[in-house]
Structure 1
């Protein structure tokens, strides 16, 4: 199972150190980085990370206000990500917990503390790798493994599901509905397409093409969803961004 996280920190050295710590946790990938409050809120709403690492500092008033990110998010969404505060001091622990932070780690971040925090997250947020989705067509209910879905294609007010075995199923709901409700490893890359990143085998940014199923299939991505494409590349090959 893959888990996504976002780093909110205005210190580039701290960001690089946090990323290095994650090299020992291949089940986690960085969905994005934000250096201020507005950028953090925007990326959380857009990228929907499961965990947000939020740097706070008692010496920097601007950073203290970053705790308000959690309050701001509740204006737009009901379920906010799992927030983990990163700080060099324990002075803000009570305030952070009151604001809705789920865990509190002291800097410099140790591998052991990070490991414990991630295990705590997994324990409180269990996720089945082989989840299913129900596709209904009138009175016919079909239960499909999420891992079998290669991509989705919009067809007016319906959505076609293309499966690994070559089957195509039609659901009487819009692509927007599935964009909101599918797990984090499904990304919209075009007004008409959502892809399962586990089947992405190649991305050609020059031709704006995303290849699936070992390059047997290619679909276009648009500039509107370029950030999502960058996130896919970051997940698969972070060294190239």
Structure 2
């Protein structure tokens, strides 16, 4: 299972520092970063991260980042992400908990404290995606490992699964159905395609091509799903945020 997170911090150096701590946690991927309140709200609503790391510094009068961002989100959505507050000041912990944060970590981040917080998050969210998907064709049920799926292609109201071994299987459900049910490492990049990010070897934004299987295969992505492609790039190479 992979988990997505967003960093909200008005200091670029702090953002890079937080990103560096996640090198030890490959099951987590960063969908983006925001440096101000408005951008943070927009990205949370658009990217729907599971965790938001929110830096709060009450001493910085120029910053518009605060715990009130959490309550503001309820104006737009019923279910908000898990917030983990980051701050150098321990005295605001009670206020942060009252505001609804999931956890409160002191900066600079201690890797052991981060690990404990992430493990607590995973314990709170015990749902582990099955590593197998059932592809049904009439009375034939085939059980396929998600790790073997390179990409999916829409074909009217059916979906073709292209596997690592070269096989193609047809399921009598729409691509939209699988988009809503596949785990986080699958990305829809076109009206007709969903790719397994673990097989992505190259992305050419100039030619709008996504290369799979060590560049042996290329498929197009569309402007409609550009945000998904951007998130895919950030997942694979967060250093290019």
TM range (shorter): 0.7 to 0.9
Alpha-carbon distance between aligned partners in 2 of 1:29 and 1:35, rounded to the nearest angstrom: 18
Taking the TM superposition and a 5 Å limit, the aligned residue runs for 1:216-235 are 216-235=216-235
**Which secondary structure does the structure 1 equivalent of 2:207 belong to?**
coil
TM-score, normalised via structure 2 length: 0.83
Is 1:106 paired with 2:109?
Answer: no
28-37 or 197-206: bigger deviation: 28-37
Structure 1 residue 130: Cα displacement: 5.9
5+ residue gaps, structure 1, are none
Q: Which moves more between the two structures, 12-21 or 134-143?
A: 134-143
Of the three residues 69, 87, 93, the one matched with 1:66 is 69
RMSD, matched Cα: 2.7
Please, which runs of 5 or more residues in structure 2 have no aligned partner?
none
What is the alpha-carbon distance in structure 2 between the residues aligned to residue 46 and residue 172 of structure 1? 30
Pairs within 5 Å for 1:24-103? 24-59=24-59, 62-64=64-66, 65-68=68-71, 71-72=74-75, 74-75=77-78, 78=79, 80-103=80-103
SS of the aligned residue for 1:198 comes to helix
CA change 1:178–1:46 in 2 (3 A) is farther
165 and 67 in structure 1: CA distance in 2 versus 1, 3 angstrom threshold: same
SS in 2 for 1:63: coil
1:109–1:143 CA distance, 2 compared to 1 (3 A):
same
Q: Write out per-residue CA displacement over residues 102-145 of structure 1, whole angstroms, 9 at most, x where no aligned residue.
A: 21112232222222222323333346576222333344433322
Residue range with higher mean Cα deviation, 128-137 or 24-33: 128-137
Task: Give CA-to-partner distance per residue, 1:77-125, whole Å, 9 cap, x none.
Answer: x5x4332111233344334334442211122322222222223233333
Paired residues of 2:37 and 2:64 also in contact (CA < 8 A): no
Deviation of 1:153 after TM superposition, in Å, equals 1.2
What is the TM-score of this pair, normalised by structure 1?
Answer: 0.83
Say if 1:98 and 1:167 are closer, same or farther in 2 by CA, change over 3 A.
farther
C-alpha spacing 1:147/1:45, structure 2 compared with 1 (3 Å): farther
Contact 2:19–2:238 at 8 Å: present in 1 too? Answer: no
